[in-house]
Amino acid sequence: MTQSIPPFHQKNLFKIPHLADLNIDDNSPFPLKVPDDFMQQMDVSDPNDPLLKQILPLKIENQIAMGFSTDPVQDLDFTPSPSLIHKYHGRVLLIASPKCDIHCRYCFRRHFPYATHSNTRHWQKALEYIQQDHSIHEVILSGGDPMSLSEHSLVRLIQKIEAIPHIQTLRIHSRTPIVAPSQAPTTELIAWAKSSRLNKVLVVHCNHANELSTQTATLFSLYKAAGFHLLNQSVLLKGINDQVNLLETLSHALFKQGVLPYYLNQLDRVQGAMHFEVDHTTAVQIHTKLRKKLPGYLLPQLVQDIQGKPYKTPLRSF
Ligand SMILES: *Cc1c(COP(=O)(O)O)cnc(C)c1O
Ligand code: SF4
């Protein structure tokens, strides 16, 4: 069950003197939001802490930058039914919840019009669309964060998807197991998974090894025992994980907890996130060096969501 986060920690963050120097924006329309579990993994005495940097709203986000927009991946052009995105062959993405437990500053959905999407009223229509298109074999629950739904609502939605005969795979994209493992759904979801006919995939979102803990390890072992394949996607973020040794450590740390690296995403060019962008050439250089350090199965694919492409596009040298 989702618990509300005590305001205690969040307010305190703004009072830490050395953070005030960073030009905090305590009035952001995408306000500070961080779960206790994630707070505990941070070192707030270090203004360069890689977890702190992911959540602290800064005034620099208000600068308008060329090429950065409010809908960088043009999802709104591919919505056959509200809350449903059908861009890629064989799979659809259902925005199952508008909410997240955390507000990541670089989030490409920070301007997404959630009020008109991801409403439970839309599920029935979306399910009808999926039912009618037999080329769809995989449903991806995304958001926001689908694990911010009540566990009961989440499992009921999943059961409706499972009832569609041509669906073979249920995939959940969620950052909750990383940032708020104590709030992640377990009982009902695991009971469902153990008896389900579907292939089950959980793609978590971890950017830095410091985000992993004994709590995440325990949670992953539960999901794994219930039949979930565990994958991770990260976003390449300047000043946070844009170093070969950090990414190498992350891959090994994930594997130790039973999770395989899947994608390393080049930042989507969303307004407010330009200070996190690693340029194309540097990104490819980092990835090439990483390839020399890791076995193939621990190397995430460096990809970008390019408008109009029917897949996540690998980044290559020019
Ligand atoms: C990323 C994404 C997917 C999933 O892509 P995979 O390459 O299968 O992981 C599906 N639909 C949309 C709209 C996406 O953005
Ligand atoms: S958890 Fe994902 S969707 Fe939510 S704010 Fe972070 S990056 Fe965005």
Predicted TM-score (pTM) of the model is: 0.94
Closest atom of ligand 1 to 75 CA is 13
Domain boundaries, the chain: 10-62, 75-314
Which CATH code is given to the segment(s) 75-314? Answer: 3.20.20.70
CA of residue 136 relative to chain centroid, distance = 23
Which residue matches tokens 């190498």?
A: 248
Closest atom of ligand 2 to 108 CA is 8
Q: How far is the CA of 311 from the centre of ligand 1 (A)?
A: 7
Residue nearest to atom 3 of ligand 2 (CA): 144
List the one residue out of 147, 87, 86, 81 whose CA is nearest residue 119: 81
Q: Tens place of pLDDT for every residue, the chain, 318 residues?
A: 334 445 556 767 877 777 777 889 988 999 999 999 999 999 988 999 999 999 999 999 999 888 898 877 666 677 889 999 999 999 999 999 989 999 999 998 777 665 555 567 889 999 999 999 999 999 999 989 999 999 999 999 999 999 999 999 999 999 999 999 999 999 999 999 999 999 999 999 999 999 999 999 999 999 999 999 999 999 999 999 999 999 999 999 999 999 999 999 999 999 999 999 999 999 999 999 999 999 999 999 999 999 889 999 999 876
Contact in structure between 232 and 205 (CB atoms under 8 Å): yes
Reading the block at residue 71, the tokens are 């809908």
Residue nearest to atom 8 of ligand 2 (CA): 107
CA of residue 301 relative to chain centroid, distance = 16
- Pocket of ligand 1 from Cβ distances under 6 Å: 85, 87-88, 91, 93, 140, 305, 311-312
- Ligand 2 in reach of 103 Cβ (< 6 A): yes
Closest atom of ligand 1 to 138 CA is 8
